Amino acid sequence: MIKAMKRPNIVIFNPDQMRADALAHLGNPASITPNLDEFAKKEAVSFRNAHCQNPVCVPSRCSFLTGLYPHVYGNRTMNHMLSREQSSLFSELKEAGYYVWMNGRNDFLPAQYPDIFEKHGSETFFNGERKVVPCHYEKEPPKNPGDRGYYSFYKGKVVPDEGCEVYSRDDETMEGALRFLERHSMEQPFCMFIGLDYPHPPYEVEEPYFSAIQAQNLPGRIPTPADSKAIPKMMGRLIENFGMADFMEAEWDEIRTCYLAMCMKVDAQFGQLCDALKKAGVYDDTDIYFFSDHGDFTGDYGIPEKAQNVMRDCLTNVPFLIKPHKGVEIVPGIRDGLVELVDFYATAMDLAGVTPDHTHFGKTLRPLLVDCDATVRDCVFSEGGRLDCEARCCSETGGTLPDISMEYYPRLIIQEEDGIAHGKTTMIRTRDYKYVRHLYEADEFYDLKKDPTESHNEIENPEYASEILSLSQKMLTWYQETCDVVPYKSDSRFNLEILWSIQKRRLGADATFEDMVEGMKKWQK
């Protein structure tokens, strides 16, 4: 008797807000990511042109864990996560016999339903077992909204208090993940989701990472636009609200080097994980996925952090690396083809040999693991923003105006009070062009060959009229193909009472149940 082959283990390593160009092997001369660089060189495929489906956390995560675009089920705000009826990669893997481990900071499960964690996982690691150790910043950050750089998110070098080591929530998450690998029996295939906070702002990190990134190696920063009328209203208002227009380049460099230092720490933690998998003897039997949910401005265009309906590459283009289990053919290296994060869902299910339980829109990337020139997509999409009437349900603050002392005030106040700036926005991007449709303001179009920094909106240029029309029609087709899905499970149109009422109309009011049964038999014939 032939023994059935065990399914591969799955590890999903998911840093928050990491842009693709934070990786050295993707061309950033200032980055220090040796583990991921070696991983891509020898064992994995790294996708240079991977794009998320929404440039903020919750919608992106709901999307890549279901293979559905955010608009399909309304998972398009920070407060609308998977419904109790929706399945996910995790619930489907658990149903297929996987032991699913995840940390509690996942941004896709609604916390008001305790049982939903049991539906999607076998074990959830909630941080808080260890206290974060006392520490301080080498330079005291600005304390008041009127202080220079208060809204910059820059904190700088983290220094432990005397006799302590720096200890963060990410450190505790990694400890929990490594402990799981030490105690799991390995007889049952496992799926691990490791969701990190880094490199999400505030921009802060300890040594040896803080001092490792050299400012002189940084690539050029995309400058602050000179004309706010030439950019989407959200970007213009962010530039105004953050109040960083007079920042010197050296000040931006502090933010940018600290961000890359945070990415360097993420790389080191990824190396820890790979070492633990090898020590446990399961590295070769494990599919490893490394990708982020979205990117970060990090000073480009004169803005820190992110915005939900801004479709610049620094927010939508994310790192995405895949190492399949032993036996799956792969040619390691960088791929230039366009892919989306919904393709993670399709690929993970494909390599695990599990059939999805719902319609989805991901495409398996298995062909790209072998063929450097293979193509699965000729364009990618991302979406964000809201209808003007959706201010309350799309609010991150519960519909109340944010306090000016909040670091997120510059972005949140726009979401609360400006339906045009926060209006619905959709991007379609090919290798050469990007078209961005805004519901309430002028559209955008960029020739990425001539203008890779997306600094010159060509929407009114007649030279591109045919290309703009072509992309807008592709966007319409995409919306029509993905606007909703029919559930695999169908509903019953008739119950016994309805069937009995139908039969009584046919057989008469005095008909008996036996008459109905006989009538049904005749009807079936």
pLDDT of residue 2: 40
What are the pLDDT digits (tens) for 416-471?
A: 999 999 999 999 999 999 999 999 999 999 999 999 999 999 999 999 999 999 99
Q: DSSP characters for 467-484? A: HHHHHHHHHHHHHHHHS-
Tell me the pairing of strands 444-447 and 433-438.
Answer: antiparallel
Per the DSSP assignment, residues forming a β-bridge with 45 are 322, 333
What distance in Å separates the CA atoms of residue 201 and residue 221, rounded to the nearest whole number?
18
pLDDT of residue 5: 64
Question: How far is the CA of 99 from the CAs of 90, 157, 193, in angstroms?
Answer: 9, 38, 11
Per-residue pLDDT of the chain (525 residues; tens, 9 = 90+): 344 568 999 999 999 999 999 999 999 999 999 999 999 999 999 999 999 999 999 999 999 999 999 999 999 999 999 999 999 999 999 999 999 999 987 889 998 998 999 999 999 998 877 766 668 899 999 999 999 999 999 999 999 887 777 788 999 999 999 999 999 988 999 999 999 999 999 999 999 999 999 999 999 999 999 888 889 999 999 999 999 999 999 999 999 999 999 999 999 999 999 999 999 999 999 999 999 999 999 999 999 999 999 999 999 999 999 999 999 999 999 999 999 999 999 999 999 999 999 999 999 999 999 999 999 999 999 999 999 999 888 888 888 889 999 999 999 999 999 999 999 999 999 999 999 999 999 999 999 999 999 999 999 999 999 999 999 999 999 999 999 999 998 888 888 887 778 777 777 767 777 776 776 676 665
pLDDT of residue 215: 98
Within the chain, how many helices (H) and strands (E) appear?
A: 14, 16
Peptide bond before residue 202 is cis, with ω within 30 degrees of 0: yes
Per the DSSP assignment, residues forming a β-bridge with 351 are none
Map out the domains of the chain with their CATH numbers. 9-482 (3.40.720.10), 494-525 (no CATH)
pLDDT of residue 3: 44
Q: DSSP characters for 262-305? A: HHHHHHHHHHHHHHHHHHTT-STTEEEEEE-S----TTGGG--S
pLDDT of residue 524: 61
pTM for this prediction: 0.94
Q: DSSP characters for 396-407? A: SSTTSPPPTTST
What distance in Å separates the CA atoms of residue 99 and residue 51, rounded to the nearest whole number?
29
pLDDT of residue 70: 97
